[in-house]
Structures are given as C-alpha cells and as structure tokens.
Amino acid sequence: MAVKDQGSPECEAPNGRRKQYVCGGCAGMVNIMITFPIQKVLFWQQLFGVSMTEAVRQLQRDGMRTLYRGLLPPLLQKTSSMAIMFGFSNDVSRLLSRPGSTPGLVTSSMAAVLAGTVEASLTPFERVQTLLQDQRHHVRYNNTFHAFRTLVRENGMRELYRGTVPVLLRNGPSNALFLGLLRPIKAETHAGQLVTDFISGGLLGATLGSLYYPLNVVKARKQSQVGGAFQSSWQVLRTIYSERGGKLSHLYRGAHLNYHRSLLSWGITNAAYELLMKVM
C-alpha cells in the first residue's frame, strides 16, 4: 500500500482522510465478493481437518443454493475492517506524530495495532459467518439476522464474541506487519501499476496469512461451538492438535489453499484500494 505522507495537504484535508475510509471499505467489499467461495472451502478444512478435495466435494453436494450462504457477515465485517485498517490507522498515525512530521516506524506500528484491536469489535460478524457456513447449523439458523437474534436470545451477548482472543492476536500484529512492510513500487503504465500493486499486496498478505494460520484454525473451532464453557485458545489448540494425531502438518490442513486465497484476497484489496485512491 502506498501510504500517503501524513503531513501532505491531501491527508490533512478532512475529505482526503474520509476518502481513505471509503476506498478501504470498497476494496474490502470487492475482495469478499470475489473470494467468498474459496473462503468457504478453506473454512471446512480449518474446522474439520479434511483435504481440499473432500471440502470441494462438500461444496458440490450442498449445491449453488448454499454457495453464498453466510456472505452478509463477512461482507459487512471486511468492508468495515478494511475501512478501519486503512483509514483509522492513518488518522491515529497523524495524531501520534509531531505536527508537520512524517510518522516513524514505531508510531505507524502502534497505530496499526490499535486499528487491529478496534477491528476485533467486529468479531460478531465472523462468529455468525462461521455458524452459517457450518452445515451442522444450516437447519438451526436461517440467515444472518436470525442467527444474531437466536444467539443473543438463547445465550446472551457474550456468545457473539466467542473467539475474540485469536482475532485480537491475529489482527494487531498482522496489520502492523502489512502496513509496515509494504512499500509502493512504481510502474510506467496504469495497467502495470495495477499488476504491481496486486502482486506486492498479495505476496505480503499471503505470507502473513500463513504465519497466523493456526490462529484461524483455533478461531474456527471456537466459533463453531454454541453454548457451553468458553475454553482458552491454548486449550482449544491442544485439543485440535491431539485430535489430528499430534501432527503439526495436520494442524496446517488448508494452509496451501489459504496461501493462494490470501494471495488473491490481499492482491485484490491492495490493487483496488490504490486504484480507488487515484480515481476518487
């Protein structure tokens, strides 16, 4: 992501700062609309530890009718989280910096971690997405709004935030690394710039997605449970590890697909964000 100089007139202007929120949100929306079916296959691998072939077969058995079941929660979550990631982190960097100076690495990292922490408030969307994608809950929850109402009515507000800890552990550090390590690479043509932004964002996002993959496995397991005790993330990780034969490779089931999904997802997000920032 080509982060604007926080001291520039464009970023200081209220309209310029609002544009970063809008462009980030729109980039997140485009990303989810394109990659949602891949995410569904990946989710089954994370939750059940099945092979990619078996996950795809399950997708085929469920049919087109349920292909986009559960789309609304990640659409709302990703649109909001990308707006926070790109817009809020830049605002906080500007506020933490000395007037007229460019934010340093420490300031930018703190702002990115804080933005990731704020993003964790969107955990209920990931929670409901998990339930709607899990075929074991297809009968119990009709749609997004029904799932929210049922969870709160039967188990209270706390149930919406099951799995918040792995989300917090994932969001802050990954935001700091993504925004801190990604540097703009200039190309000679508009098409070349779009491809460059896609590749640079995709490669970094895919690498970070692989690094934090076990946290998503733990999150999927925790959020597939309805009711009962809230186990610690460490307890859940140990249980999954034991269930999968004590093999680390089985804990990473789906990591190969996750790498390619992240490559596509973050490539789309970064390219769309940079393009929108130029044309809006």
pLDDT score for 100: 64
pLDDT score for 7: 43
pLDDT score for 4: 45
Structure token pair of residue 159: 């149930």
Q: How many whole angstroms separate alpha carbon 132 and alpha carbon 29? A: 19
pLDDT score for 3: 44
The burial of 99, by beta-carbon neighbours within 10 Å (0-12 exposed, 13-18 middle, 19 or more buried), is given as exposed
Tell me the DSSP string of 235-262.
HHHHHHHHHTTT-HHHHTTTHHHHHHHH
Q: How many whole angstroms separate alpha carbon 167 and alpha carbon 170? A: 5
Could you tell me which of 77, 82, 83, 99 has the C-alpha nearest to residue 6?
99
pLDDT score for 1: 45
pLDDT score for 16: 62
Identify the structural domains of the chain with CATH numbers, from first to last.
Answer: 15-94+102-279 (1.50.40.10)
The burial of 131, by beta-carbon neighbours within 10 Å (0-12 exposed, 13-18 middle, 19 or more buried), is given as buried
How far is residue 39 from each of residues 33, 53, 179, 207, measured CA to CA in Å? 11, 14, 23, 17
pLDDT score for 223: 94
Structure token pair of residue 156: 């209270």
Mean per-residue pLDDT pooled into runs of 10, the chain (280 residues)? 45 68 95 90 83 84 81 92 92 80 78 92 93 87 92 94 95 91 81 92 94 94 92 94 90 89 94 92
pLDDT score for 8: 46
Structure token pair of residue 141: 């929850």
Q: How many whole angstroms separate alpha carbon 144 and alpha carbon 22? A: 24
